[in-house]
Structure 1
């Protein structure tokens, strides 16, 4: 696959936060859309070593977060560079993130949460083997949104 993962630098965090903007309903995923997310993304102490910048052939592809949530479980978050979304590369990108998580953290389970309106992401996660656990409502981006929690058995 040729993906490379490195700890997210401050310069990369600022580039993503201020210049990666998604179209239409996916603008929900702009880092600037939620002040709490923006603060965490931009403050190195809050990011810690759980945020990774992803490249392929030296081109920026996206980022992943990996958080140990106990019981041999890693919770992931991810974002693909906006101009690369919707082009059929999402599955390979997510699979690369799962392989990285498995090799670095050796979890038994990987979890994630996705906004329920994001049908194209949910379709990819299901194809890869994620299963729905439940749904929940979360206050974010100035409103309330429904999310689906999903789990992947390693």
Structure 2
């Protein structure tokens, strides 16, 4: 009787491990990445087209990595990063003639297989180049600013 219970219990534990294996692999990879994580704030002068292209490439990278077991948690972080910069993209979309000086938080993950760079948070627009002049900009981009075309 004890042998049967041990076999059944061992089989149940094996099933639980197999079910959770993808999640465990993803967490181990994320843990490894977090130890090699580099974070920086980059200041860039950028147009709408350039920011949109960065945004699009980051979206494609997130989609590509979400389809993997190993990098799925990293993909979630990348997706959060491009979600955070969405308002900046929309702000510039309505004003394609301007450029902005923007601070972007950039995270870089590196392991033996690949290096992943991505925008990891909300950008801060410092200045706007419009009509041949740089103008200070101290507002936080919100839906109201986008909709009011300020």
TM-score per shorter chain, which class? under 0.3
Normalising by the residue count of structure 2, what TM-score does the alignment of the two structures yield?
A: 0.27
Whose relative contact order is higher, 1 or 2, with alpha carbons under 8 Å and at least 6 apart? 2
TM-score (norm 1): 0.27
- Look at both structures and tell me which one has the larger radius of gyration over its CA atoms: 2
